[in-house]
Structures are given as structure tokens and as C-alpha cells.
Amino acid sequence: MKLAVKRLLEGTTPRERSGIIWHTQGLGKSLTMMFMVREMYRHPSLSKWKVVFVTDRTQLENKLSETSQSIGFSVKIAYSIKVLKELLASDSSDLVMAMIHKFREVDLKETFPELNTSPYILVMTDEAHRSQYSMLGANLDKGIPNSARIAYTGTPIDKTERVFGDYIDKYTMRQAIEDGVTLEIVYEGRTHNAEIPDKAGMDTVFQDVFSDYNLNQRLEILGYGSRDAYLEAEPTIEAKGKDMVAHYLTHVFPNGYKAQIVATSREAAVRYKKHIDGAITRALDRLEKANPQNVNLEWLRKLKSDVVISGSHNDELHLTPYTNSSKHKTSIKSFKLPFDGEDEGVSGDIGILIVNNMLLTGFDAPVEQVMYLDKIIVAQTLLQAIARVNRVGGAAKDKGFVVDYVGVGNHLKKALDNYDEREKNEVLDVLSFPEEELRELQASHTAIMDFLETRGLTDLTDHDAFFDLFYDEVT
């Protein structure tokens, strides 16, 4: 914040006063934005500036409104282009929030006249790489040509889109992990082989079933005709759902954490619920007979899933129960609670949320530890989506998991190719891959066994020999 304020104070042109703040996801972006305003207003020369927040997320809208009130500011919200123009044209030093997701696209494309030539305007933008901002940004250039621009991003800005200038400051993912405010993410890729028993053979032929390479040929072999048809097919979803539940009950549920499934479509999301619920029921039956891991069966008996998807006027009847925004709020509240928690009549029984487009960005749930990806997501949206699992959530949550069923790892590499080499390495530095960890474990095991063998220890059950080797008479 101080570096950004220093730039505002010392810059002589809009470009010199502008820049990018790399603000790792999960670290309270709304607080940073509001404390930035408070820091500005402590300086007499900045205290009368107009500040414009630009966001396209309801969650950040709510957070900014709540945060501003908590530190003594009020924000004027522009729900339409007409209102935004009026607020930008005024000479008052107020705080304005532009809600891009509430604007009509036809209005975004409308060319703004020159509204205010004052140099005492700051535009702070959330995740400025998004397409909506590119439309509004051109109009802001015309409407408030002398304003300063500061972009906050949880993922590095594409090197071709640096309209904001250079970095003001970086708080990278690795720094956040080292400070204990976010977690490392373990990425696991799983190609799928519905109805084909030879998994090894399938994986050899389809190392990345859903990369863009030779896609038509691969889909022709699969026999479904299109990628969406394959991903929506009942046998595909049933097989993947069974695998997801097995992974979840083995690695995540025993520690009290929750899961998110990202389906390729709203139809697929609803189908997933049926098969996830069925897989949970069958797993419970097995565990009632034998429970070697001591899974909490009381929690498991109550465990529920739910679907959170958007709606449209022409929805089929089987989709409509999952498009109700009021029901969404209750389901999300249940999901965020611990399994044994309760708040205002809502219990924490929902452990798996199934989505399509909703809750992929700006959704903070420290109790979420794993995301199962069954949808092709690309570019910054992919980087933001996988960060849903990196929130700190208690001692038992030492890392987050992303389990990939569609080969988005290929798209992750492509997304990172848009960044400078240093930025790319900073992102990769916080992702770990099971195969790499296994190689490190195997190397460590080999080193230990070599160490023991050179000292004549080959029988690992010979406790006396171990004692003789490692006993330290001094201590």
C-alpha cells in the first residue's frame, strides 16, 4: 500500500502513477483495497481523490461493501453504465464501485464521451485481465483520461496485457506459503477410461484425453461424437464419481475437510449428484462392515452433496431445483461449516459441492481441501479455480489437492506460457506433483538403503545391529 501511495504522490503522468499489485489469492484483497484508500486519505494531497473500484464478482462486491463500512467509508455502487457515468462525471471525492457483471454488454460497448479530466481519480481493478474489463477499460480511457490505474491480481497479468504499467509490488504464492497464510497445492492428473478395462493401455493411447491435439481423432475413437457428450455420458460420470468418492473418503474426509466438483455443464453437474450420492451410500455400506481407517461413520451417515448452478428461463425441470439463489446461500453456508457445526439452523452436513461455472473464482472456504476437475478450464480462470483449495484451514490441512480428470494440466502449461519466465516459475514453485514427490521419496529411500548397506546393514529386522550403528555413547 505504501509503495502504491508513493507512486501516486510522486508520479507526474497517469502512467507513472499506475501499476500492478500481485496479490496472492486468499489474502484479503478487499481489505488491501480499503486500507489503500485509508492510507491515501492520510495524505492531504490525496485526501480529495475520487476512487473507483471495478469488479465483476458478487463476492468481492459484498466484501468491499462490508470492509468499507468496518473502517468508516461508504461506497456508491453503480449497477448500470448510466449511473457509473454520472458518478464519474461528478467532482465529489467519493468511493465508487463499478459492477461489471451487472452491466449489459451492449452498454459496455458504447463509447464514452469525456466525462472528467481530473488527474485526481484512481481506478482500482480486481483481476484486470478479464474480458469484461477490456471493454470497460477502453471507455475509461476516454471518459477519465487522466486517471491513475492500479490492478490487483491473484494471478500474474498476461505479458501481452500490461496496460497498467509495471509491478508496484508482489506478494507471491511462495511468500504467502512461507508466511503460513496459504498452502501448497498438490496437482494430480488422472486420465479416464470409462468402460475400458485396460487402464494402462488407455492411458498410453490417451495421455491427455482432452488436450487440443488430435482432438477429433481421439473423440472418434472414444465414440461419443463430441467432448461434451463424452463428459456428460452417464457411464463416464458414474465411473469418475466412484473414483472421486474413493479418493475423498481416503485422503480428505477423515480430517474433516470438504470437496468441490467442477462439471463440464449444468446437466453434468446434476448427473454427478446422483452418482456421487450413490457412491457415498455404497461406501457407507462397506465401511459399516469393515472400517480399518476408522472413518467417522456418524459424519458419513449425514454427508450430503448439493449442486450450485446458474439458471435460465428455458431450463428443463430437473435443473430448476439447483438454480435457486436462496437455496444456494444455504448450501454454501452448510458447506463452509465444519461437519459438526451448526449456525442459525443450518448444519454442516454438505461436504461436496458440485458446480459448473459458479464458485470458481472469489469463493473462500477454508474447509475445502480438494477440487475434482472434470471441465476444461483455461488461462487465468484455471489458475484462480485451483486456488480455491489453498486456504489455511486448521492444523490437519497442510496442503490443498487438485485432481484432474480431463487433462487440464496441458492447459495449465499453456496458461503459464503467457507469463514471463520468472512469473511462470513463481507459480510452478507452489504446485507439487505426486510423481515428483514419489521420485524424491524413491531417491531418499535409495540413499538410506545405500548408507545402511555400506555399513553392513542389510537385514532391516536386526534391531541389535541398528542399535550398535546408531548408539551414541556420549549422549
- Name the residue with higher pLDDT: 424 or 372: 372
Q: Where are the domains of the chain?
A: 2-171, 184-436
Buried b (16+ CB within 10 A) or exposed e, 188-200: bbbbbbbeeeeee
Q: pLDDT at position 173, please? A: 72
Q: What is the reported pLDDT for 472?
A: 67
Query: What is the C-alpha end-to-end distance of the chain, expressed in Å?
Result: 52
Least confident of 13-22, 173-182, 200-209, 235-244: 200-209
pLDDT averaged over every residue in the chain: 80
Residue 208 has pLDDT above 50, yes or no: no
What value does the mean pLDDT take over residues 135-164? 77
**Domain spanning 184-436, CATH class:** alpha beta
pLDDT attached to residue 203: 42
Candidate from 43-57, 96-110, 204-218 with smallest mean pLDDT: 204-218
The pTM for the full model equals: 0.70
The predicted-structure confidence for 240-257, as pLDDT tens digits, reads as follows: 999 999 999 999 999 999
pLDDT band at 382; cut points 50, 70, 90: confident
Q: Average pLDDT of 97-110?
A: 75
Mean pLDDT across 202-215: 42
With 0-12 / 13-18 / 19 or more C-beta atoms within 10 angstroms meaning exposed / middle / buried, residue 168 is buried
How many residues appear in the chain?
475
Q: Does the pLDDT value for residue 451 go beyond 50? A: yes
For residue 360, the model assigns a pLDDT of: 83
Per DSSP, the three-state class of 253 is helix
| Closest to 365 in 3D by CA, of 252, 260, 225, 292 | 260
Which percentage of the chain shows pLDDT scores above 70?
75
- Phi, then psi, of 408 in degrees rounded to 5: -70, -10
Burial of 169 (0-12, 13-18, 19+ CB in 10 A): middle
Which CATH code fits 2-171?
A: 3.40.50.300
For 298, the grid coordinates are 456418524
Q: pLDDT (tens digit, 9 = 90+) per residue, 160-170?
A: 356 787 888 87
Q: CA nearest 46: which of 36, 55, 54? A: 36
Least confident span in 53-57, 255-259, 282-286 = 53-57
C-alpha closest to that of 70 among 25, 100, 26, 38: 38
Domains 2-171 and 184-436 belong to one CATH topology? yes
For residues 439 and 113, the model is more confident at 113
Set of cell numbers at residue 113: 464521451
What pLDDT band is residue 267 in, cutting at 50, 70 and 90? very high
| Cβ pair 368, 260 in contact under 8 A | yes
| DSSP H or E stretch at residue 438 | helix 434-454
